[in-house]
Amino acid sequence: MIFDRAPDDPLTIFSAWLKDAEEQEPNDHNAVTVASVGADGMPSARMVLLKGFDSAGFVFYTNYQSRKGQQILAHPKAALLFHWKSLRRQVRIEGEVEKVSDAEADDYFATRARQSQIGAWASEQSRPLEGRFELEKRVALYVAKYAVGKVPRPPHWSGFRVVPRLIEFWQDGAFRLHDRLVYHRQGDTWRTERLFP
């Protein structure tokens, strides 16, 4: 079993599992699938990197003009899925989505490598690209524009926080008798239940 007695706070488990993943996963222990929904009701999923979490929620950054950015801004709900194959564990999260503050986005953007900062300006994420040369020209344009000093955060680049209302922990079990523990938010507290595999 994941725990004989479930902790009151699901972040207790998540923190421990993320630390295990950091130590044992070969690449991108913080990689997470983000699922959103389009105006036509069609779901869409892609991988991003988790950049922070606390009791307020789970944070990732993106171009707000991208497909996922536009979908989430129009329908501010999302699902996250962490899958750590080498640990045989996964975590599912569902919740409302809110924008991070400008200060929070600025602070994170300042920690990014300069070339990644330039890339945030150069890439018109999710829009058609004629060829690689078009992207390289845009990169050169912004390298020249920000040749001196700090690269400011683009106004269309920021973060989202998924505020969880459900967190499910799944751990592989012998003979497919997996262990599943679900937390449901109820105001400021969490209710837990175990599920059949």
- Note if 176 is an active site residue: yes
Q: What token pair was written down for 55?
A: 């009791």
Residue 62 and residue 49: Cα distance in Å, rounded?
A: 10
pLDDT at 1 over 70: no
Give domain status of residue 1, yes or no: no
Q: Shortest CA distance to 171 belongs to which of 48, 13, 22, 25?
A: 13
**Percent of the chain having pLDDT more than 90?**
91
Segment 166-180 mean pLDDT: 93
Give domain status of residue 5, yes or no: no
What confidence score (pLDDT) does residue 167 get?
Answer: 98
pLDDT at 96 over 70: yes
pLDDT tens-place string over residues 110-131? 999 999 999 999 999 988 989 9
Average pLDDT over the chain reads 95
Q: Which of 88, 112, 153, 176 is catalytic?
A: 176
pTM, 2 dp: 0.94
CATH number for the domain that contains residue 154:
2.30.110.10
pLDDT at 4 over 80: no
Where in the sequence is the domain holding 30, given as residue range(s)? 10-195
Give domain status of residue 4, yes or no: no
